[in-house]
């Protein structure tokens, strides 16, 4: 028949598989979006600093 250890092993397998799936989604979707936003903000800061420097000269 179906042993309780097989059931627990199957649940552990499904848990690990699900965690891996959501981690993959996170790494491929959210992190590039986060890095892109940070780069855009940094470029805006550099552009403002350059503009401010030209105004003072």
Does residue 54 register a pLDDT over 90?
Answer: no
Interatomic CA distance for residues 47 and 55, integer angstroms = 12
CA–CA gap between residue 3 and residue 11 (Å, rounded) = 13
How much of the chain, in percent, has pLDDT values that exceed 90?
75
Give the span between the Cα atoms of 7 and 14, in whole angstroms: 11
* pLDDT given at position 3: 86
């Amino acid at each position: 028949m179906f042993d309780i250890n097989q059931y627990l092993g199957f649940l552990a397998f499904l848990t690990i598989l699900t965690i891996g799936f959501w981690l993959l989604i996170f790494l491929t979707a959210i992190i590039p979006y986060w890095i892109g936003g940070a780069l855009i903000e940094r470029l805006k800061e550099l552009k403002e600093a350059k503009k401010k420097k030209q105004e003072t000269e």
